[in-house]
Structure 1
């Protein structure tokens, strides 16, 4: 456990005495030098220079009535500068009016002594204020350490959270025809689109930096429910029969329920899990109400799911799969625009079109290699067994 500084620290403290009268400087230096290191200044400008040096004083004894810059002005400068604001200032002055003392204390001085100064009182006040400063510095150091430790622990928790999300998403990906890069691409599409959509007044309040960060974290879990779909359906290269499609559609509910179960085990609400549930459950809904699982329409579909829907479809169109060739970007964008107001939120489509260069950059950055696709194809062969 760290302890406050020992009182012997005070013997090494530096006292700056500021007074325009040489005799006063000599007198104060004589009183203080046995216990402290003493610096002197005969004007305010020089005092400020010393206070702002690489070795600032621990306490300042400051006269008020000085030419050019009086003690009040010196104190104002000291307290306005973050580098010197914490240096204790004790006014030493012949001004004895209550208003003068009040002004000095209001400016931030810690004490106010009138001349002629009683040496014993002066030494006691100096000692007490140095001890108070030492305690304050100690607490500031402790607070800085604790804040740094909180930041470090927060980073660790965030990293564990991110790794957990990606591990769960990768688990679903191992049984699907998509590659792990699909997860990354859609994640970045969603973030870029959300940042662009923030230009719209109706969305600006919702799409805060924090919410967009939660979207980014949650997007990889959109297809987590596919873990519960039988292999004969999930890996079928052709069109689904009606009954097969009904089973396939259940991946939305399975995903939502899995996340809800994890949240229940955690015993508390977490922002990114709420958004993850929305995305997993509703990313197959369509703007005109023809989607699933609930047939939601328009703004009844959560914004997170509307963003995910367009990102998911776009990536499915432009990327090669083990069962299909990639579609050109221009054709994929034409299909997206055809779905404006039917499949997709029309406002979101308009902004999606405006970030085409960003979409292409993301697709290139996380492109699937031929080797990855071949490895995926070989991996999926082991799952092609009857239920």
Structure 2
């Protein structure tokens, strides 16, 4: 906090004698500037910063009340403390002054001790207020920095867990990064739909990005003989593979039980469990249909299938973009939520660019570069 003697005061009065008296009283204690009328005072306030203003009421052209109104209307000057100085002592003038935001009201003729005391009091309050504001700003900055740090740790931890699951499945870390970006891109497009405008907020989209990489975390519970099998799964093996959805939900629930329930973990849980549900109710593990399937899982379902089709797998090459998109369109209303498919189609060029930028091979990049028509 700066010392009182470094404080600056602007004195505004159209009477030279009054200015001389106030400068004599205050000049030895503070930095003092003067203005002889309202307009020049307002111009000075555009250029210089003052800690306190002593403002006369009765002045030509614009009076002190109008100057005060403009000071408080300007964000650059609104916080400056203002003391009215005037020969008017009527209660209505004082009331008007305080209603406009004045901190004090000194009646002429001046008493030196009174002026010094009141100015010192209000400058001290002003400095204390500024110190508190600075401290609050520092605390807010530290909270933001700490929050960002926690978010980064959270994201790094979740991405690490998700990557471990993907590596067991012969997939790459790029897969989960693509799923994250595809899901967020589709959600932003879906945000424009009147049904979801109020629900899919920027906070929701960020949570979706943090949660979606954990969609297949339950695969860590699937035996290698099934998870890594090159050929087609038998009916019994497929039944075991489908358990990765419930394993994923259980794994995330165990984290919640040991730690704390966080919004992104709750969303991750519903995605892990429900991203293989189908809009017509023929999916798994619960056979949910329509809007009974969480919207987060409906979004990730489209993102996951798009990535699976447009990427190389041990049993297939990447499909050309037009075939991949055609399959998703064909599944509209059966496999996929029609609204989500429409959102996907609305942002297909953004989706394509994400895929190209994060492709695992030139083959996959070439497939995405093919014509959509």
The separation in 2 between residues aligned to 1:14 and 1:326, in whole angstroms, is 71
Q: 2:45 is matched with which residue?
A: 51
Listed as ranges, the gaps of 5+ residues in structure 2 are: 365-373
Q: Secondary structure at the match of 2:83?
A: strand
Q: 1:28 is matched with which residue?
A: 22
1:123 counterpart = 2:82? no
Q: 1:344 is matched with which residue?
A: 336
Deviation for aligned residue 1:11: 2.2
Deviation for aligned residue 1:371: 11
The separation in 2 between residues aligned to 1:275 and 1:347, in whole angstroms, is 20
2:36 counterpart (29, 38, 42): 42
The separation in 2 between residues aligned to 1:35 and 1:180, in whole angstroms, is 67
Q: Secondary structure at the match of 2:29?
A: coil
1:15 counterpart = 2:15? no
Listed as ranges, the gaps of 5+ residues in structure 1 are: 373-387
The separation in 2 between residues aligned to 1:356 and 1:25, in whole angstroms, is 71
1:299 counterpart = 2:291? yes
1:96 counterpart = 2:113? no
The separation in 1 between residues aligned to 2:144 and 2:197, in whole angstroms, is 28
Q: 2:367 is matched with which residue?
A: none
Q: Secondary structure at the match of 1:202?
A: coil
The answer to whether the Cα contact below 8 Å between 2:183 and 2:303 also exists between their aligned partners in 1 is yes
Are residues 286 and 360 of structure 1, via their aligned partners in 2, closer, same or farther at CA, if it must alter by over 3 Å? Answer: same
Q: Deviations over 1:141-191 (max 9, x none)?
A: 111111111111011011001101100111101101221111111111111
Q: 1:282 is matched with which residue?
A: 274
Q: 1:375 is matched with which residue?
A: none
1:173 counterpart = 2:166? yes
1:315 counterpart = 2:307? yes
Taking structure 2 as the reference length, the TM-score comes to 0.94
Q: Deviations over 1:342-366 (max 9, x none)?
A: 1111222222223221221111011
1:77 counterpart (50, 62, 70): 70
RMSD: 1.5
305-314 or 44-53, which moves further after superposition? 44-53
341-350 or 130-139, which moves further after superposition? 341-350
Deviation for aligned residue 1:290: 1.1
The separation in 1 between residues aligned to 2:93 and 2:246, in whole angstroms, is 74
81-90 or 150-159, which moves further after superposition? 81-90
Matched positions, count: 364
1:164 counterpart = 2:194? no
Are residues 355 and 11 of structure 1, via their aligned partners in 2, closer, same or farther at CA, if it must alter by over 3 Å? Answer: closer
Segments of 4+ moved more than 6 angstroms: none
The separation in 2 between residues aligned to 1:110 and 1:89, in whole angstroms, is 6
Q: 1:254 is matched with which residue?
A: 247
1:365 counterpart = 2:357? yes
Q: 1:385 is matched with which residue?
A: none
Deviation for aligned residue 1:110: 0.5
Q: 1:384 is matched with which residue?
A: none
The separation in 1 between residues aligned to 2:346 and 2:45, in whole angstroms, is 55
Q: 1:106 is matched with which residue?
A: 99
The separation in 1 between residues aligned to 2:256 and 2:71, in whole angstroms, is 53
